[in-house]
């Protein structure tokens, strides 16, 4: 059995040697952890699973995972089996921790249940993969591995041994007890008569009143005596201890004969499934997200992959999936986007509430999902991985730690710029809005020129409309490595102030935004004079 088998990585791949992303604060900033909700096990004593563990910069890994997600989306029954397998593997892991190397009758009942769960998980996977049409290398390797286990002589021997013992401890439902009484009807001694796979049940009131004897051997002549209500503390513990001792005595020989088989499976055979627990949790969480978005009628596509050095990002009809996920808007507008030799970093301007920030974040979300190896919210995509995703979004003054808002913004951005490279993505939203337009224009101009020299991709969503006219100046720097360009949130009806939420690659008309705002709030000169009573007469 391949103990080092992983679902998320190609064969012989060493994740520790992969180029790691440098910062993961974007996960919360872009709400990725609200989209991909990992099943947790902290209530069972397991450490929480975190998304940062699954990000990759390697095209081979991303392509390997995307193919698996495609198989799971196209085979919903297999996806459901993966979901059903997770609690079973948790139980196997729990029992595995509880079992000791020293075999004892006390642990034997749990040990047999442990092997029954091993049977359950093998049969669950085996039945599922045999009936699926799979195309991904990862799931085809998984199918071969599972079928190899299920059809092996060793596994067939286990099935035979468990069947021959006719002991399925997880299915024991009752025991029959014989009790001797003295002349005063006091209990003298007791013992087990049988162990049963069915529960006893009380007969009807009529049966008991008429002293009618039932043909069902599991029908009681009297009502149940509630043990937990009638016995307390040490008395109840004594009854349970006596029963466990009796069961151990009854099964002693069978369990001791079973010991060699149990030890053979103790740590080896279930290690595969326990080691796949995190992979299964991630794959089911990602598939659940894809299916939920598709069920709402929106596309989720498998991106085509380019090398990191090619610096490609082309998204057709990309949208912000959180608007869909939470049903925030009745109509979700999509936009197309691409990076090329004339634009890798964009200044995004337009009217208030025109969809600028939502658009910029949708690109960041698509990039982040892609680097998990998950489908992206677009009709089609062609993307390169980036080495890092950085966000510079507005923060609460509570997080400024005694600094002014502008000082805090500049400190955070300075730390990002120290790490930023030409293969990174930077998303800036309304940076420097806390200072005067003159100061903001100066700082932003310096930063944008520097970003062109660094060569990263990304966006600067801003109301500093004068920056749009300086793109040529920014790109003229002798050390410029990546061109800047403009994106504009356009109006559907300027006169009526109706936004289209469409983003176009064009030069903005800064005064149109000002006229829009003035008209919307009645701040045009004609409106002011018309409303002012002193102008009457």
Reduce the secondary structure of 440-481 to three states and give it as a string: HHHHHHHHHHHHHHHCCEEEEECCCHHHHHHHHHHHCCCCCC
Reply yes or no on whether the pLDDT at 1 is more than 60. no
Question: pLDDT digits over 19-77, tens only?
Answer: 889 899 999 999 999 999 998 887 777 778 999 999 999 999 999 999 999 999 999 99
What do you get for the CA distance between the two ends of the chain, in Å? 96
User: What distance in Å separates the CA atoms of residue 64 and residue 67, rounded to the nearest whole number?
Assistant: 6
Task: State the pLDDT at residue 121.
Answer: 92
**Where does 270-409 show beta strands of DSSP type E?**
304-305, 313-318, 335-338, 345-349, 380-383, 388-392
Share of the chain above pLDDT 70, in %: 80
Of the listed ranges 216-230, 275-289, 378-392, 442-456, the one predicted with least confidence: 216-230
Q: Supply the pLDDT for residue 434.
A: 80
pLDDT digits (tens, 9 = 90+) for 117-131: 888 899 999 999 999
* CA distance to 181, 218, 525, per residue, from 178 (Å): 10, 15, 101
> What is the tens place of the pLDDT at every residue in 459-478?
999 988 899 999 999 999 99
CA pair distance 54, 39, nearest whole angstrom: 14
Q: pLDDT grade, residue 116 (50/70/90)?
A: confident
pLDDT value at position 240?
Answer: 79
Residue 232 has pLDDT above 80, yes or no: no
Q: What is the H or E stretch that residue 502 is in?
A: strand 498-504
At CA 213, angle to CA 211 and CA 214, rounded to 5? 135
Of residues 175 and 69, more confidence is placed in 69
User: Over the stretch 295-351, which tens digit does the pLDDT of each residue have?
Assistant: 999 999 999 999 999 999 999 999 999 999 887 666 899 999 999 999 999 999 988
User: Are the beta carbons of 203 and 221 closer than 8 angstroms?
Assistant: yes
| Prediction pTM value | 0.80
Domain 299-535, CATH: 3.40.50.300
Mean pLDDT of 507-525: 69
Whether residue 211 has pLDDT greater than 80: no
> pLDDT exceeding 90 applies to what percent of the chain?
50
For the chain, what is the mean pLDDT? 85
Chain-centre distance of CA 208, in angstroms? 56
Length of the chain: 537
Secondary element (H or E) of residue 63: helix 59-74
Position 70 scores a pLDDT of 98
DSSP class of 301: B
Residue 237 confidence (pLDDT) above 70: yes
Q: What is the pLDDT of residue 156?
A: 87
Residue 32 contacts residue 26 (beta carbons within 8 Å): yes
Confidence category of residue 94, pLDDT binned at 50, 70, 90: confident
**The pLDDT of residue 165:** 57
**What would the DSSP string read from start to end of 357-392?**
HHHHHHHHHHHHHHTTT--BSSSEEEE---SEEEEE
């Amino acid at each position: 059995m391949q103990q080092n088998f992983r679902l998320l990585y190609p064969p012989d791949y060493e994740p520790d040697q992969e180029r790691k992303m440098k910062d993961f604060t974007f996960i919360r900033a872009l709400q990725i952890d609200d989209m991909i909700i990992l099943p947790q096990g902290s209530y069972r004593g397991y450490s929480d699973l975190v998304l940062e563990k699954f990000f990759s910069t390697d095209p081979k890994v991303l392509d390997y995972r995307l193919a698996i997600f495609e198989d799971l989306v196209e085979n919903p029954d297999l996806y459901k089996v993966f979901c059903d397998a997770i609690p079973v593997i948790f139980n196997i892991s729990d029992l595995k921790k509880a079992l000791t190397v020293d075999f004892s009758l006390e642990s034997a009942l749990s040990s047999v249940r442990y092997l029954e769960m091993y049977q359950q998980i093998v049969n669950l996977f085996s039945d599922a993969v045999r009936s699926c049409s799979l195309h991904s290398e990862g799931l085809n390797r998984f199918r071969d591995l599972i079928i190899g286990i299920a059809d092996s002589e060793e596994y067939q021997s286990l099935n035979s041994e468990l069947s021959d013992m006719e002991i399925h401890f997880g299915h024991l439902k009752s025991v029959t007890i014989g009790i001797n009484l003295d002349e005063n009807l006091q209990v003298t001694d007791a013992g087990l008569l049988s162990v049963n796979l069915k529960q006893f049940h009380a007969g009807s009131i009529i049966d008991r009143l008429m002293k009618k004897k039932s043909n069902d051997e599991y029908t009681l002549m009297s009502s149940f005596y509630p043990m937990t209500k009638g016995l307390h503390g040490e008395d109840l513990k004594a009854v349970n201890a006596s029963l466990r001792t009796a069961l151990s005595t009854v099964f002693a020989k069978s369990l001791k004969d079973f010991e060699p088989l149990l030890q053979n499976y103790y740590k080896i055979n279930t290690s595969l499934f326990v080691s796949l627990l995190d992979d299964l949790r991630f794959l089911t969480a990602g598939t659940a997200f894809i299916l939920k978005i598709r069920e709402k009628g929106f596309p989720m596509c498998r991106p085509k992959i380019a090398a990191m050095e090619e610096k490609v990002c082309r998204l057709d009809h990309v949208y912000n999936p959180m608007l869909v996920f939470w049903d925030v808007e009745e109509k979700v507008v999509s936009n197309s986007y691409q990076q090329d030799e004339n634009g890798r970093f964009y200044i995004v301007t337009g009217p208030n509430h025109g969809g600028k920030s939502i658009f910029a974040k949708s690109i960041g979300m698509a990039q982040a999902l892609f680097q998990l190896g998950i489908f992206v919210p677009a009709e089609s995509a062609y993307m390169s991985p980036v080495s890092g995703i950085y966000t510079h979004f507005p923060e609460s003054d509570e997080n400024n730690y005694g600094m002014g808002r502008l000082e805090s913004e500049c400190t955070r951005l300075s730390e990002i710029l120290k790490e930023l490279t030409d293969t990174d993505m930077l998303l800036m939203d309304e940076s420097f809005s806390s200072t005067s337009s003159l100061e903001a224009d100066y700082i932003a101009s310096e930063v944008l020129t520097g970003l062109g020299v660094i060569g990263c991709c990304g966006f600067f969503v801003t109301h500093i409309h004068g920056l749009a006219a300086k793109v040529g100046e920014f790109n003229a720097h002798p050390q410029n490595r990546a061109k800047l360009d403009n994106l504009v949130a356009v109006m559907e009806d300027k006169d009526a102030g109706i936004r289209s939420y469409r983003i176009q690659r064009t030069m903005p008309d800064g005064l149109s935004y000002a006229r829009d705002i003035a008209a919307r709030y009645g701040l045009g000169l004609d409106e002011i004079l018309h409303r002012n009573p002193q102008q009457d007469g």
